Amino acid sequence: MVNLKKFMLLNGYHWILASRSPRRRQLLRDMGFGFDVIPASDNAEDAIQPDELPTQYVERLARQKAEDVADSHCMRKKTLSDQDSRPLVVIGCDTVAVCHNEILGKPKDVNEARRMLKMLRGNEHEVISGLCLIHVATGKTIIQHDRTVLFMNNISDEILETYLCTQQWQEKAGAFGYQDGINWMTIVSGSESNVVGLPLELLIRMM
C-alpha cells in the first residue's frame, strides 16, 4: 500500500472531510492523514430516487455532501487557517448496505434495526460506498464507488437481541458495525475499510 503520509505531503493539498462520522475520521487518522472536518448539512442527504441504482444513489449523496461543504464553508477563509495557502479539496462519502435489492441505510429505531438484521442473517449482502473529491478552486470533481461483499451467519434470535441491546447498531448502515468485532459477519470479497465507512484503497487511487 502507498505510504499515505508521504503521499499527502507530496501533493500539498488541504483536505476537508465533509462528514460527522467518527469512524471515517479514525480511519484517516490511523493512516497518518492530516485533515479538517466540516460536516455537510442535513439538507445534503435525501431518499433514493425512482429507478436509481444503489451505486448511483451513494455517488449522488457523496457528491451532494462534498458540494454542500465546498459551496457553503470552504470558500470562507475564516473557517480555516488563514496561514494555510494549500489548495482545498473536499472529501464526501456515503455508505449503504444492500440485500435482496433493498438499500439498507441507518435504522431509525431498534425495530427497524431488528428487521434489517433478520434480513441479513444467513445471506450475502453488499456494502457500497460512494466517494467524491472536489477541488474547490477549480471545481474539478471526481466520483467513484466501491463495494464489499459480506456474509452474515444465520445467528439465533437470542444473539441478535443481545447485539441490539448494545446499541452498537445506531448510526450504522445495515444496523451493524464490522469494526465492533462481531464474529458472525465475514468479508467475502472487497475492502474492509469500505465496510467501516470509507474505502481507503479507492481514496488513494482517486487522489
Q: Which of 188, 191, 184 is nearest to 205 (CA)?
A: 191
Q: How far is CA 181 from CA 110, 129, 169, 177, 184, in A?
A: 20, 21, 12, 8, 9
Q: For strand 141-152 and strand 185-189, is the pairing parallel, antiparallel, or unpaired?
A: antiparallel
Cell numbers 460536516: residue: 39
What are the backbone angles phi and psi of residue 50, rounded to the nearest 5°?
-55, 135
The answer to whether 78 and 115 have CB atoms below 8 angstroms apart is no
36 is catalytic: no
Residue of 42, 68, 94, 157 marked catalytic: 94
Asked if 193 and 199 touch (Cβ cutoff 8 Å), the reply is: yes
Contacts with 179 (C-beta within 8 Å, 6 or more apart), sequence order:
23, 195, 196
Beta strands 88-99 and 102-104, pairing class: antiparallel
- Catalytic amino acids? 94
